[in-house]
Amino acid sequence: MENDKSKVINALGGKRGILDSGLPSLVFLIAFNVSHAVVTAAIYALICSAFLAVLRLARKDTLQHVLSGFVGVAFCALLARKTGNAADFYLPGLIINVVYGSAYAIFNLVGLPLLGLILGPVLGENLAWRKVPARKRVYTQAGWLWVALFISRLIVQYPLYKSGNINALGTARLVMGYPLFFLAAWGSWLIIRSVPSVPAEAKVEET
């Protein structure tokens, strides 16, 4: 059971994914407050991301985490440098929240919860959960937690982005990053585990 919980958290991003995106953002915020220069802050954030990428490679982590973390921060840094607006470092993150929030909501509404598509194979039931109404229901309910997470971030952070309040925006991103992620992941696990996974015979049938 505990192993399944770890699988769920890792499949949804995990500690490494949060660290790879959160730490460079913190470095950017600190560097910008010290230097008051977008380019300088972007460079420091990029260096931090590069360091994390090297660390991941040294520990023989998957290239997926290394590349996605580095490329994401590099894009944010280049965007902020190009526009000269420090707030644009956080713009891609806002767009990602729109995309993810919309995806989770749409898939839930059409009766094919995205969370089930992600976690089904991880938990060893593939898509067989679709034939078990109770199992499908918990995936849908947990999916709404993530919709709420993404929407809450947008409600708080978008006005700060529009106003150009870098300190408040950077702080809000950090506060609504780790805490909300783990809260949503833990809540999802509690909901999903309330209904037993698909029986072995159903898995065979699905196969």
Q: What is the pLDDT of residue 10?
A: 62
- The share of the chain scoring above pLDDT 70, in percent, equals 82
Average pLDDT over residues 43-56: 84
For residue 110, give both structure tokens.
Answer: 């059409």
Q: What is the pLDDT of residue 145?
A: 95
Q: What is the pLDDT of residue 161?
A: 95
Mean pLDDT of all residues belonging to the chain: 83
Average pLDDT over residues 135-151: 95
Domain count, the chain: 1
Q: What is the pLDDT of residue 110?
A: 96
Average pLDDT over residues 69-80: 84
Buried b or exposed e, range 137-152, using 16+ CB within 10 angstroms: ebbbbbbbbbbbbbbe
Using the predicted structure, report yes or no on whether residue 157 has a pLDDT greater than 90: yes
> In Å, what is the CA distance from 12 to each residue of 59, 114, 141?
21, 11, 16
Average pLDDT over residues 171-179: 85
Using the predicted structure, report yes or no on whether residue 2 has a pLDDT greater than 50: no
Using the predicted structure, report yes or no on whether residue 42 has a pLDDT greater than 80: yes
pTM above 0.85, yes or no: no
Q: What is the pLDDT of residue 60?
A: 73
List Cβ neighbours of 95 (8 Å cut-off, separation of 6 or more): none
What span, in angstroms and rounded, lies between the C-alpha atoms of 115 and 108? 9
Average pLDDT over residues 106-135: 91
Q: 85 lies in which domain range?
A: 2-206
* Spacing of C-alpha 3 from chain mean position: 20
Average pLDDT over residues 182-188: 88
Q: Which helix (DSSP H) or strand (DSSP E) does residue 163 occupy?
A: helix 133-163
Using the predicted structure, report yes or no on whether residue 64 has a pLDDT greater than 70: no
List Cβ neighbours of 52 (8 Å cut-off, separation of 6 or more): 19, 20, 23, 24, 69, 70
Q: What is the pLDDT of residue 143?
A: 96
